[in-house]
Amino acid sequence: MALSFWLMRADDPFRDRYARGTRSMTASEIRALFAVAARPEVVSLAGGMPFTAALPFDVVGDVLGEVVADEGPAALQYAGGQGDPRLREVLTDLMRHEGIRGSGGDVVVTEGSQQALDLISRMFCDPGDVIVAEGPSYVGALSAFSQYQVCHVPLDDDGLDPDALAATLERLERDGRRVKLLYTVPNFHNPAGVTLAASRRERVLELARRHEVLVLEDNPYGMLGFESDPPDALRALDPENVVYLGSLSKVFCPGLRIGWALVPPALRERLILVKEAADLCSSSFTQAVAYRWFANYPWKETLKGLRELYRERRDVMLEALTEDVPDGVTWTRPAGGFYVWVRLPDHLDARAMLAKAITARVAYVPGGAFYADGQGGSCLRLSYCFPAPDRIREGVRRLAGVIDEELDLARALGGLAAGDPDRDQGRPAGWGGVQ
C-alpha cells in the first residue's frame, strides 16, 4: 500500500504559478492518515484527537443556550481583532495555574494556537531566516514554518538539551545565519511526551536572551499533567522574551478553535494588525461560549475527569508496550499529555513499515513527519488519548506483531539482530525511556 503526501501533482495546470513558499508544501502525514485510520477495523494510535465524548453535553448545551438567549445579536456579530475582553481575562486566570502573571490586555485570541504559530512566524521571519526547534517537533508548527529554515536541537528524557542548544546557536551565529525564533513545547511534548526539566529552563532562556532569539512557548497540554503539575511556564520566568501560546482544544472543545498568544506589550499592536489581515476577527459566538464555560461552570471538575481518563489510557499503553513489544524497542514515559514516542532499532524504517501496519489494522504516525530535515526514520508516535483502553491494548498487540515481522525479516536478510549495540550509535544520550 503506497501513501503519498505530496500536494504538487504533475498534472496540476497551476504548478508553475504558485508562490515559491507554497511549492514545497506537503500535506501532513497525520491528515493523510485520517481517511485510513477512520475505518472501524483499524485501531488508530495516530491522531491526537481529544476525547470530547467525556464532556458533560447537558452542561455544554446549557452554555450554548445561554449565549443565544442572553447575547444572541452580539454573539452573532463581528468582534474586535484582539478578542473578547471577557475571555481574555478568563485566559489570564487559566495561565496563573502555570505561574504566569499576565494582563488580558496583552492576550490576542486566535483561531487555535495553530494560527498563532503562523502569525508570529510571519511577523518575525523572512524567507531564509532560521527557526530553531526541538527535534522532533510538532508537525503543525513545521507546517507553519515551511517557508523558513528549521534547525533542530535534540531532546532527551528531560526535554530540550541546553548544551546542544548552545552549540547550535553558536554555530548558526558563526555561519552568519539569522535565528529569529526558538520554538519549544516544554510540557508533555508533542510528539515526544517529555517535559523540560525545571533545572534546564533558566539556561534555555538565558541562551535565547544572549543570542537575541525570541522564545515561542507552545503549551496546549500544560494542564493535563497526571502525577503533578509541570514546572512554571517559561513565560513566568521571562515575560519580556517569551511569547506564550495557549489553546482550549485539549481542555475543552477543539471544535471551538480558540487559542491565544500572550505577548510582551511591545508586540501586541503589531500582532493584532497581522491577525486582522488574516481573518478580521475570531468568532464572537465561540468566544462567548468559552467565556461562560470557564467563568460560570465547574470546569475544573471536568478537567479532573479528563486527566484521570487520559492517565488511565497512558497506563494501559505503557503496560501493553512492556508486555508485547520486542526487545530493542524503547519509548518515553509521559507524565501528561497525549503521546508516547517510540524508537525502533535503527535499521527499521517506520514509514516503510506503516503499510504493513495498516494491513494489520493499526495506525501510527512515522517519526519523520516531526522533523524538517529527514531525521526520525526509525521512530514513531503513538497517541493514547482517543481509543478506549481495550482498543489501545489491541492496537499495541497488532503493532508489536508488525515489528516482530520486520525484525525477523531484517535478521533473515542479514540485518542487525535485536540487542546489537551498534543499533544505538548516534542516539542522543539518555534518550529512549523504558524497554
pLDDT tens-digit map of 248-287: 999 999 999 999 999 999 999 999 999 999 999 999 999 9
Is residue 5 very low, low, confident or very high in pLDDT (cuts 50, 70, 90)? Answer: very low
The CA distance from 261 to 109, in Å, is 7
pLDDT value at residue 23: 66
pLDDT value at residue 231: 87
Helix 389-412 / helix 299-324 crossing angle, nearest 10 deg:
30
What domains are defined for the chain? 20-54+302-424 (3.90.1150.10), 57-296 (3.40.640.10)
Beta bridge partners of 261: 108, 245
Cis peptide before 50 (omega within 30 of 0): no
Q: What is the pLDDT of residues 403-430, one digit of tens each?
A: 999 999 988 887 554 445 444 433 433 3
Q: Does residue 58 register a pLDDT over 60?
A: yes
Q: What is the pLDDT of residues 128-148, one digit of tens each?
A: 999 999 999 999 999 999 999
Query: Which residue type sits at 196?
Result: L
- Maximum pairwise Cα distance, the chain: 71
More confident residue, 52 or 9: 52
Percent of the chain whose predicted confidence (pLDDT) is above 90:
83
Integer-rounded Cα radius of gyration of the chain: 22
3-state secondary structure labels for all residues of the chain: CCCCCECCCCCCCCCCCCCHHHHCCECCHHHHHHHHHCCCCCEECCCCCCCHHHCCHHHHHHHHHHHHHHHHHHHCCCCCCCCCHHHHHHHHHHHHCCCCCCCHHHEEEEEHHHHHHHHHHHHHCCCCCEEEEEECCCHHHHHHCCCCEEEEEEEECCEECHHHHHHHHHHHHHCCCCEEEEEECCCCCCCCCCCCCHHHHHHHHHHHHHCCCEEEEECCCCCCECCCCCCCCHHHHCCCCEEEEEECCCCCCHHHCEEEEECCHHHHHHHHHHHHHHHCCCCHHHHHHHHHHHHHCCHHHHHHHHHHHHHHHHHHHHHHHHHHCCCCCEECCCCECCEEEEECCCCCCHHHHHHHHHHCCEECEEHHHHCCCCCCCCEEEEECCCCCHHHHHHHHHHHHHHHHHHHHHHHHCCCCCCCCHHHHCCCCCCCCEEC
Phi, psi values for residue 89, rounded to 5°: -70, -40
pLDDT value at residue 316: 98
**What is the rounded average pLDDT of the residues 323-345?**
97
The CA distance from 148 to 348, in Å, is 30
pLDDT value at residue 10: 64
Q: What is the pLDDT of residues 276-322, one digit of tens each?
A: 999 999 999 999 999 999 999 999 999 999 999 999 999 999 999 99
- Burial zone of 159 (CB within 10 Å; 0-12 exposed, 13-18 middle, 19+ buried): buried
Q: Does residue 26 register a pLDDT over 70?
A: no
Phi, psi values for residue 375, rounded to 5°: -75, 175
pLDDT value at residue 430: 38
Give the residue from 174, 138, 167 showing the smallest Cα distance to 153: 167
pLDDT value at residue 220: 97
